[in-house]
Amino acid sequence: MIRVLLADDQHLVRGAFAMLIGTAPDMEVAGQAATGRQAVDLARITPADLVVMDIRMPDLNGIEATRAITSDAALSHLKVLILTTYDTDDNLVEALRAGASGFVVKDTHPAELLAAIRTVAAGDALLSPGPTRTLIARALSQPSPRGSDHPSHRALAVLSDREKEVLTLVAQGLTNHEIGAALDLSPLTAKKHVSRIMGKLHCRDRAQLVITAYETHLVTPHRQDE
């Protein structure tokens, strides 16, 4: 059972999402918050697996609330799925850098929202395809405000050539099965490589691996599009 926290300042939106999640046999609503601060406080006292977080909220916005959750060692298991009105919002990049595992737009099809929750809860990155993925890729490939001395830049040197190949494919959105097929590995071996890379780079999930791959320029938008 995937336990979901809902954080949105609009009561009707929260209510609609709660009803939708209630129809899924593998999900339940663990709690609801109307502000970013409430979302952080609720996350710390409520057993949950994932937060569906609105990017714009009073008191503490979704980016800062996400950062507070993902930087808390006690909440390392908790994933964040960002809700946004526009999938070209520049704030999405900062939300990913803050630790979010992906995002969906509010007018997405109900079945797609449930699928997004399952994807993120399983530890996979969820970045929209097409122009939005390109927008995020280009933004992430720019110098990070954290500077070139960020630990990820130094840690990339500890990866083997095979691990760098795997990380490149993760950044391109491939699943473990697809990575295995591309590198002539079993899906289990591909999964082990991904887990080992996460450990070496101190990444929470695949979304953070994507960010590291772009910010260290292991992958660039030009190379990905070829």
pLDDT tens string 192-226: 999 999 999 988 888 888 888 888 888 876 544 44
CB 196 within 8 A of CB 163: yes
Using pLDDT thresholds of 50, 70 and 90, give the confidence band for residue 188.
very high
- Domains, the chain, in order of start with CATH, read 2-139 (3.40.50.2300), 147-219 (1.10.10.10)
Poorest-confidence range of 114-118, 136-140, 141-145, 167-171?
141-145
Task: Decide if pLDDT at 125 tops 90.
Answer: no
Task: Decide if pLDDT at 155 tops 70.
Answer: no
Q: Which are the contacts of 150, defined by CB distance < 8 A and separation ≥ 6?
A: 144, 215
Task: Decide if pLDDT at 58 tops 80.
Answer: yes
**Is residue 147 left, alpha or beta, with left meaning phi > 0 and alpha meaning psi from -120 to 50?**
left
At 223 the pLDDT is 47
Task: Decide if pLDDT at 144 tops 60.
Answer: no
Nearest to 48 by CA among 62, 67, 33: 33
Return the sign of the alpha-carbon dihedral for residues 61, 101, 140, 195. Answer: positive
Q: Which are the contacts of 182, defined by CB distance < 8 A and separation ≥ 6?
A: 169, 174
Helices (H), 122-220: 131-140, 151-155, 161-171, 176-183, 187-201, 206-215
Q: Could you give phi then psi for residue 30, rounded to 5 degrees?
A: -90, -20
CB 5 within 8 A of CB 43: yes
At 143 the pLDDT is 59
H or E stretch at 23:
none
74-78, 152-156, 173-177, range with greatest mean pLDDT: 74-78
Q: Indicate the pTM of the whole model.
A: 0.79
